[in-house]
């Protein structure tokens, strides 16, 4: 924008706001639709965000690059919004180069960058309140013999100042996080830790650690306000008020080699979808599996009848508006992946090209 057009724009804005303050704000390009968080390929540091419209089969690609004329410098591990700000977790393959990019969620223009010195291995982000986001981090990792060598932390991002305000130490391998009322529950991956950390949002401090089971992965809050976790190879229905596990169910299957992932709650929060797969040694270690579902009221979780007879390695999402299931398909990490959409009854809707490794979905209005 040159100086004249800038002048013109400011005059226009002043005139506009002076004359008609009651008009609604002008629509912005990223007000609506579904953001696809493409993780990228690890050493290529080429994570990106695409925008899909609910009623269209073409996407807008790498919208951060498009709006800011620079790319996100790493893989992507998460996205969340705090009011009108988007928080993007950038995980570079080189230790000490991770970042958090903060954008205007409606225009995707960069607002601020939280530097590498503040953040290492960000894994998940959640809106903690109207003024802050919580970001789980592994901190620096070790080699394969002791990968999660450091305790994790939850970085508190002040959405007003766009700065890191605090690091709350939690268990090693901190990953999934959910906010329930005034508490945030933090799970972990890989490190073998068995307790969920409970953070008091008002004080930004861990107030309690609750034994749940090995590597607790938080799935979400169901229609009955029960927290679901996958921990110790069991699905755990957990009461976030009393901090006790109410039921523990194992997935029953004829194939003991299979393991579940990508758990997600349906729009009505009464069904949980998940993928269930294994590498078949009898077929050159081909990955095989399907997508299953179970009811939150189930007393037995039997993976016998697939909900969708297909496996998605890229992650699942559910549109709270429509109940449509978004499934990320990753053919390889050196090509664009696809988002395959299904109705909540499992009927295929369509398929949309995304970018490298579509892994998470963020549903806008």
Partner 1 sequence: MHSYAQKEQSLCEVTVRGVRPERFMVGQKVQDIDSTQLTRFRYSTLADFLQFQSPVAFKSYGPGQATSIAFRGTSANHTAVLWNGININAPSLGQSDFSTIPLAGFDQMSIQYGAAASCVGTDAVGGSIQLRSVPEFRNTGLQLLTAIRAETSENYSAQIGFRFNRSLSDYWKFSGKTMLYGSVFNNHFSAEPRRNRQGDTYSFEPTQTTQKGIVQDLYWQHYKGNLLTLNIWLTDNNLTIQPQQPPLQEVTRTQAYRVLGSYQLGKTLIRTGFIRDLIDYSKGENAVPSHTQIDRFILRTEHDFSWIRDCEKGTNLKVGAEVVHYNALVDGYGNEVIRENRADFYALLRHQFSAKFSTSLNLRQALVTRFSPPFTPSAGVEYTAMTFKNAKIILNGNASLSYRVPTLNERYWVNLGNPDLRPEKGFNKEVGISWKQRLTSNNQMQLTINGFHNLIDDWTYWNPDRNYRVENLQQVLSKGIEISWNLKAQWAKTQFDALLNYGLTHSSQQKTYGPYTQDFIGKQLIYVPRHALGSTISATRGKASLTIQQQFNSKRYVTFDHSGRPFAPYYLLNAILNYQIHKRNFRTDIAIQGSNLTNTVYPNLKKNAMPLRTVSLNVVLYFQSKKQSNES
For partner 1, the binding residues (CB under 8 A) are 43-46, 48, 61-62, 65, 69-71, 73, 93-97, 120, 140-146, 149-150, 279, 284-287, 329-336, 338, 353, 355-356
CA 51 to each of CA 14, 31, 36, 219, 353: distance values in angstroms, whole numbers, following the listed order: 31, 10, 6, 24, 11
Task: Report in angstroms how near the CB of residue 103 gets to partner 1 at its nearest.
Answer: 15
Shorter beta-carbon distance to partner 1: residue 68 or 162:
68
Rounded to whole angstroms, how far apart are CA atoms 292 and 274? 5
Nearer to partner 1, 42 or 131 (CB): 42
Closest by Cα among 140, 201, 209, 142 to 170: 209
Rounded to 5 degrees, φ, ψ at 360 are -140, 160
State how far the Cα of 308 lies from the Cα of 216, in Å rounded to an integer: 26
Q: Which is nearer to partner 1, 323 or 333 (CB)?
A: 333
Among 159, 164, 161, 137, smallest CA distance to 148 is for 137
Neighbours of 188 (CB within 10 A): 29
Q: Closer to partner 1 by CB, 24 or 281: give it.
A: 281
CA separation for the pair 313, 335 (Å, rounded): 14
Identify which of residues 156 and 336 has a Cβ nearer to partner 1 in the complex. 336
Phi, psi torsion values for 146, nearest 5 degrees: -150, 70
Provide, rounded to whole angstroms, the least separation between the CB of residue 102 and partner 1.
Answer: 17
- The whole-angstrom separation of Cα 175 and Cα 141 is 13
Give the nearest distance from C-beta 118 to partner 1 in angstroms: 14
Minimum gap (Å) between residue 72 Cβ and partner 1: 10
Question: 146 vs 202, which CB is nearer to partner 1?
Answer: 146
- Closer residue to partner 1 (CB): 313 or 360: 313
CA angle 25, 28, 29 (to 5 degrees): 165
Cβ proximity to partner 1, 16 vs 279, nearer residue: 279
Q: How far is the CB of 287 from partner 1 (least distance, A)?
A: 6
Distance CA 306, CA 308 (A): 5
Q: How far is the CB of 334 from partner 1 (least distance, A)?
A: 5
Least CB distance to partner 1 at residue 138 (A) = 12
Q: How far is the CB of 350 from partner 1 (least distance, A)?
A: 16
DSSP 157-176: EETTTTEEEEEEE--TTEEE
In 3D space, the residue among 28, 70, 73 whose CA is nearest the CA of residue 51 turns out to be 28
Q: What's the start-to-end Cα distance of the chain, in Å?
A: 30
């Amino acid at each position: 924008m040159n100086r004249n057009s800038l002048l013109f724009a400011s005059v226009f804005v002043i005139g506009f706001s002076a004359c008609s303050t009651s008009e609604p704000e002008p629509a912005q390009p990223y007000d609506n639709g579904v953001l696809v968080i493409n993780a990228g390929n690890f050493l290529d540091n080429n994570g990106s965000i695409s925008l899909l419209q609910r009623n269209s089969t073409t996407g807008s690609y790498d919208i951060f690059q498009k709006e800011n004329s620079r790319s996100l410098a790493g893989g992507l591990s998460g996205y969340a919004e705090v009011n009108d700000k988007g928080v993007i977790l950038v995980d570079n393959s080189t230790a000490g180069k991770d970042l958090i990019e903060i954008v205007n969620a409606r225009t995707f223009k960069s607002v601020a960058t939280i530097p590498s010195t503040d953040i290492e291995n960000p894994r998940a982000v959640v809106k903690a309140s109207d003024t802050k986001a919580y970001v789980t981090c592994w901190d620096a990792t070790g080699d394969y013999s002791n990968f999660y060598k450091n305790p994790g932390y939850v970085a508190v991002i002040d959405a007003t100042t766009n700065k890191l305000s605090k690091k709350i130490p939690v268990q090693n391998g901190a990953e999934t996080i959910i906010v329930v009322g005034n508490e945030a529950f933090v799970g972990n991956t890989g490190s073998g830790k068995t307790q969920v950390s409970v953070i008091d949002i008002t004080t930004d401090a861990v107030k309690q650690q609750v034994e749940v089971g090995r590597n607790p992965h938080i799935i979400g809050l169901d229609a009955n306000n029960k927290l679901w976790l996958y921990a110790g190879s069991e699905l755990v229905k957990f009461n976030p008020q009393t901090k006790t596990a109410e039921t523990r169910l194992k997935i029953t299957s004829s194939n003991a080699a299979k393991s579940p992932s990508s758990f997600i709650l349906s729009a009505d929060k009464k069904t949980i979808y998940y993928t269930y797969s294994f590498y078949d040694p009898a077929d050159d270690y081909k990955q095989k599996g399907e997508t299953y579902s179970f009811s939150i009221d189930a007393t037995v979780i039997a993976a016998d009848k697939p909900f969708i007879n297909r496996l998605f390695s890229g992650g699942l999402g559910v549109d709270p508006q429509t109940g449509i299931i978004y499934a990320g398909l990753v053919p390889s990490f050196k090509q664009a992946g696809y988002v395959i959409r299904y109705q909540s009854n499992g009927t295929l809707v369509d398929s949309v090209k995304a970018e490298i490794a579509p892994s998470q979905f963020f549903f806008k209005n």
